Amino acid sequence: LEYLLRHDNKKLLEQEIQRLSAEVQSLKNPQSLSPSPRLEELREENARLKYRLNILKRSLEEERTHCTKSMMNINQRLQEIFGEAIRASCPDLDNPPLAVTPNQQPKFGDYQCNSAMAMAQMLKTQGVKANPREIAQKIIQNLPDNELIQKTEIAGPGFINIHLKRMFVSKLLTNLLINGVQPPPLASRKKVVVDFSSPNIAKEMHVGHLRSTIIGDSMCRLFEFLGYDVLRLNHVGDWGTQFGMLIAHLQDKFPDYLTVSPPIGDLQAFYKESKKRFDEEEDFKRRAYQCVVRLQSKEPDFIKAWNLICDVSRKEFQKVYDCLDIQIIERGESYYQDMMTEAVKEFEERGLVQQDEGRKIVFAPGQPIPLTVVKSDGGYTYDTSDLAALRQRLFEEKADVIIYVTDSGQGTHFQVVFAAAQMIGWYDPQVTRVEHAGFGVVLGEDKKKFKTRSGDTVRLMDLLEEGLKRSMDKLKDKERDKVLTPEELIKAQRAVAFGCIKYADLSHNRINDYVFSFDKMLDDRGNTAAYLLYAFTRIRSIARLANIDEATLRKAAETTEVLLDHEKEWKLGKCILRFPEILQKILDDLLLHTLCDYLYELATTFTEFYDNCYCVEKDRQTGEVVKVNMWRMLLCEATAAIMAKGFDILGLKPVQRM
C-alpha cells in the first residue's frame, strides 16, 4: 500500500510538473503576449509558477531517492534524465536517438551519452546544419535537476561523459545491503509461458534436450525473480504413429502387461527393437497402424499400454531433472488432441485452409512454406499440435509472454506458426510477446556433432555421471577431501559438476554452436563455474575468518557509510550496481551469456579490490585481527549478495565451503 501511494503520488507530481512546465514556456514566449496592463501581473504569475515548479521537482527527487527496497537501474534513470534534456534541446526532432551506456574507460567518467552525433545526422537529412558538440552543449544545459549526476563533460566529436555522485552510489549500496537484492517494481504481474526441454517419450534425452532444459530453466528463474507469473511447460512428444509400433511390440513381448507391470528396463533398446520390426515386418507394420487407430479412439487397454510406456520414460527424464534441479510441468502433445480439431475448424471457417493432394494446408502471408494442418490420411501434424498449443496458451492461460526454447533448426517452423496465429487474429505482436529462443548444436572437442565413439547419441545420465566423477577427481587433486567432511565433499562435488555443465552452456551465446569439454568447464581459471564458485566461497569466508557474524554485518549496514574513496572501491561499487541493467538487457534479448560475463567481471573486479584494499588487517607475528575496515567488509557482502542472486538465476548452487 505504501508503495502504491508513493507510486501514485509520483505520477501526480510528474503530471503537475509537465503542466506547469508548459505554462511557464507559454509565458516565456513574448509573441503570445500582446502589450497590456496585465503583463506585469503575468510576469508575477510566471515567477510563482517557477517557484511551485521547483518545489514539485524537489518533491519528486525526494520520492526518487526515498529508500525503496528495489535496486535502481542507473542506466534507465540516466536515460530518463537525458531523454528529457534531448527533447528540450531539439523539440522539432521526432523520436530523437537516446544512447546511454557505461563508459569503457573510467578516466572519462562512469557513463556516456552518445546521442548528439546521431541527432546532428538526423538534422542534416532535414537540411539543417548542426554541430554535434553544440547539440551536446544544449543537452547539458537542458539537463533537469537530478539526484545522481555529479558533472558532465563534452569529449571528442560530441560524446557526453557522465560522472556519478559518489554519495549517491554509496546510498544505493547501503539500500542493497539493508534490503537484499530486490527486483525493480512491476507495473503489472504478467503471465509468462516458457516451453522448454520437450523430449520424446521412448527416446533418450540427448544433449539438445540438455541445452533446452538448462536455457529454459534459467529464463524461468529470471522471470520468476522479476515477479512474473511463470508457467514452465514440458511439451513432450507423447502421441503419434510411433506409439502404434511400441504398443504392438509391448503386446508381443509382454502379453500380460495389463495385469503385470512390464519390466522395460531399457526403453531405448525397446524402441529400437520395435522400429526394426516396423521397418522389416509387413504384418507387424499393419498391426502397428491398427494400434494407433485404437489408441486414438481411446480404447482403455491401449490407453493403459500408452501410459505404461510414458511412465517408464518419465522416470528416466526425472533422473535428469533431479540432478539439474529442474521444476517443470509435463503437458505433452496428447494434452492438445481435442484442441487440434477446434483449431483446424477455426481456420476452415475463416476460409484460410486450402486442399493440396488430400492434405489441408494454411499459407501465412510472407512465409516461405505452408503449414500442414491435416495429413492426407486425416491425421494431425506437429504444425497442428503447435497451433493448438499456442491457441490454448493465449486464450486459456491468457499469457502475455510465450517463449519456445528449441534448437535453431526449428526457427522457420515457429516463424510460420506465429505468422498464421497473427493472420487469424489470435494475438497482436505489439501487445503479446511470442518468441522462439533458438540455440546452436553441441559439438565435441573434434568440432563435430557431439556423439559417442561408436557414433551413438550421448545419454544425458551418462554425461551427468561423468561430470560427477571428474568433479570429484578435481576436488581430490586440490586436496579438498582432507578439509571437508564427507557430506560437504558430496555437496561440493554436485555443485561443481552440475554447475559447470550448466554454466558452460549458458556462458556461450545460445545462438552459436558450442564445444562441450569437461576439461575446460572444470578449469578453475577464466570464465567458468569452477572459478566463480571458488571465488564466491572465498568472498563468503572473509567475514568468517575475521570472526564477524551476520548480526554484526547487518548492524554495520545500517550504521556504516560505504566509502568509495579508493579507485578500486569505486570501480567495484559501480560494478555491483549494474546488476539491474544486466537483467533488463537479458529480458529484452533472452541472451543469458550476458549475466555470465557480468558475474565474471564482478568476480575479477572484486579480486582487484581485495588485492589493493585491506578489509582485515592482521598482526604479522601472531596473525590476530587488529583492525577491520567495516565499509570494505560491506562491499564484500554486497558483492556476495549479487553473485548469489546471479547464481540462483543461472541455476548454480554455491556451497559454504569448497
Kindly report, residue by residue over 449-478, the tens digit of the pLDDT.
Answer: 887 777 777 888 889 999 999 999 999 999
Inter-residue contact 99 to 113 (CB < 8 Å): yes
Q: Same structural domain for residues 498 and 618?
A: yes
Inter-residue contact 491 to 533 (CB < 8 Å): no
Question: For residue 471, is it within any domain?
Answer: yes
Question: For residue 498, is it within any domain?
Answer: yes
Domain that holds residue 265: 241-319
Question: For residue 362, is it within any domain?
Answer: no
Q: What is the 3-state secondary structure (H, E, C) of 345-371?
A: HHHHHCCCCEEECCEEEECCCCCCCCE
Write the burial class of residue 404 (CB in 10 Å: 0-12 exposed, 13-18 middle, 19+ buried).
buried
Count of domains forming the chain: 3
Phi, psi torsion values for 596, nearest 5 degrees: -65, -45
DSSP H/E element including 604? helix 593-612
How far, in whole angstroms, is CA 8 from its chain's centroid? 29
Question: For residue 550, is it within any domain?
Answer: yes
Counting as low any pLDDT under 70, the low residues of the chain are: 1-16, 20-38, 56-67, 265, 658
CATH of residue 641? 1.10.730.10
Q: Same structural domain for residues 130 and 251?
A: no
Q: Which of 350, 362, 478 is nearest to 416 (CA)?
A: 362
Q: Same structural domain for residues 610 and 475?
A: yes
Which residues make beta-bridge pairs with 617? 627
Q: Same structural domain for residues 112 and 249?
A: no
Question: For residue 616, is it within any domain?
Answer: yes
Q: Same structural domain for residues 593 and 467?
A: yes
Q: Which residues of 188-219 are buried (b: 16+ CB within 10 A; e: fewer)?
A: eebbbbbbbbbbbbbbbbbbbbbbbbbbbbbb
Q: Same structural domain for residues 159 and 245?
A: no
Q: Same structural domain for residues 153 and 292?
A: no
Q: Same structural domain for residues 628 and 497?
A: yes
Give the model confidence (pLDDT) of 187-211 as tens digits.
889 999 999 999 999 888 888 899 9
Q: Which of 498, 496, 500, 505 is nearest to 443 (CA)?
A: 505
Which residues make beta-bridge pairs with 231? 193
Question: What is the predicted pLDDT for the residue at 1?
Answer: 40
Question: What is the predicted pLDDT for the residue at 36?
Answer: 60
Grid cell of 439 as nine digits: 540455440
Q: How far apart are CA 71 and CA 65, in angstroms?
A: 11
Question: For residue 98, is it within any domain?
Answer: yes
Give the torsion through C-alpha atoms of 234, 237, 239, 240, to 10 deg.
160
Give the torsion through C-alpha atoms of 10, 16, 17, 18, to 10 deg.
110
Helix, strand or coil, per DSSP, at residue 564 = coil
Domain boundary among 164, 192, 215: 164
Give the torsion through C-alpha atoms of 637, 640, 645, 648, to 10 deg.
-140
Question: What is the predicted pLDDT for the residue at 92?
Answer: 86
For 134, which DSSP code? H
Q: Same structural domain for residues 482 and 627?
A: yes
pTM, two decimal places: 0.88
Q: How far apart are CA 272 and CA 260, in angstroms?
A: 23
Domain boundary among 293, 319, 345: 319
Q: How far apart are CA 456 and CA 479, in angstroms?
A: 36
